[in-house]
Amino acid sequence: MHWVRDQIPKEFTKPSNADKRIKVAQPVVEMDGDEMTRIIWEFIKEKLILSNVDVELKYYDLGLPYRDQTDDQVTIDSALATKKYSVAVKCATITPDEARVEEFGLKKMWKSPNGTIRNILGGTVFREPIICKNIPRLVPGWTQPITIGRHAFGDQYRATDFVVTQPGKFKIIFSPADGSAGKEWEVYDFPAGGCGMGMYNTDESISGFAHSCFQYAIGKKWPLYMSTKNTILKAYDGRFKDIFQDIFEKNYKPQFDKLKIWYEHRLIDDMVAQVLKSSGAFVWACKNYDGDVQSDILAQGFGSLGLMTSVLVCPDGKTIEAEAAHGTVTRHYREHQKGRPTSTNPIASIFAWTKGLEHRGKLDGNPDLIKFSQTLERVCVETVESGTMTKDLAGCIHGLSKALFESVLQKHEQERERERERAGEREREREREAELLSIFWQNTKREKKRED
Give a yes or no: residue 13 inside a domain. Answer: yes
Binding site, annotated residues for Mn(2+): 269, 292
Contacts 24+ apart (CB under 8 A), 184-188: none
* Spatial contact of 209 and 285, defined as CB atoms under 8 Å apart: yes
pLDDT (tens digit, 9 = 90+) per residue, 345-398? 899 999 999 999 999 999 999 999 999 999 999 999 999 888 888 888 887 777
CA end-to-end distance (rounded Å), the chain: 61
* Spatial contact of 381 and 374, defined as CB atoms under 8 Å apart: no
Residue-wise over 272-283: b if at least 16 C-beta within 10 A, else e?
eebbeebebbbb
Domain end point (choices 388, 412, 429): 388
Give a yes or no: residue 308 inside a domain. Answer: no
Same domain, 12 and 116: yes
Which residues does 398 contact at the CB level (< 8 Å), separation at least 6? Answer: 404, 405, 408
Average pLDDT over residues 121-141: 88
- For the chain, what is the radius of gyration of the CA atoms? 27
Task: Give the model's pLDDT for residue 442.
Answer: 79
Give a yes or no: residue 311 inside a domain. Answer: no
- Answer yes or no: is pLDDT of 135 > 90: no
Confidence of residue 401 (pLDDT cuts 50, 70, 90): low
DSSP 156-176: GGG-EEEEE-S-EEEEEEE--
pLDDT (tens digit, 9 = 90+) per residue, 179-237? 999 999 999 999 999 999 999 999 999 999 999 999 999 989 999 999 999 999 999 99
> What CA–CA distances, in Å, run from 33 to 5, 15, 75, 88, 224?
21, 27, 11, 13, 33
CA distance 194 to 136: 44
DSSP 367-398: HHHHHHHHHHHHHHHHHHHTT---HHHHHHHH
Task: Give the model's pLDDT for residue 403.
Answer: 45
Three-state secondary structure call for residue 286: strand
Three-state secondary structure call for residue 70: coil
Task: Give the model's pLDDT for residue 4.
Answer: 39
Helix residue ranges per DSSP H, 26-97: 35-44, 64-69, 73-85
Give a yes or no: residue 309 inside a domain. Answer: no
DSSP 254: H
pLDDT (tens digit, 9 = 90+) per residue, 312-323? 998 888 999 999
Binding site, annotated residues: 93-95, 100, 112-118, 127, 150, 269, 277, 292, 327-332, 345
Same domain, 11 and 49: yes
The H or E element that residue 414 is part of is helix 402-451
Same domain, 366 and 287: no
Task: Give the model's pLDDT for residue 227.
Answer: 97
Give a yes or no: residue 98 inside a domain. Answer: yes
pLDDT (tens digit, 9 = 90+) per residue, 138-183? 888 999 999 999 998 889 888 899 999 999 999 999 999 999 999 9
pTM here is 0.78
pLDDT (tens digit, 9 = 90+) per residue, 26-43? 999 999 999 999 999 999
Same domain, 117 and 226: no
Same domain, 210 and 295: yes
Q: Please give the residue range of the domain that contains residue 191.
A: 160-198
Same domain, 150 and 278: yes
Binding site, annotated residues for D-threo-isocitrate: 95, 112-118, 127, 150
- Answer yes or no: is pLDDT of 81 > 90: yes
Residue 89's closest CA among 316, 323, 249, 261?
323
Average pLDDT over residues 64-72: 95
Between 246 and 424, name the one with better pLDDT: 246
Give a yes or no: residue 310 inside a domain. Answer: no
- Answer yes or no: is pLDDT of 18 > 60: no
Question: Average pLDDT of the chain?
Answer: 88
Tally of domains within the chain: 4
Give a yes or no: residue 415 inside a domain. Answer: yes
Binding site, annotated residues for NADP(+): 93-95, 100, 277, 327-332, 345
* Spatial contact of 293 and 249, defined as CB atoms under 8 Å apart: no
Same domain, 419 and 374: no
Same domain, 167 and 280: no
CA distance 139 to 405: 24
Task: Give the model's pLDDT for residue 209.
Answer: 92
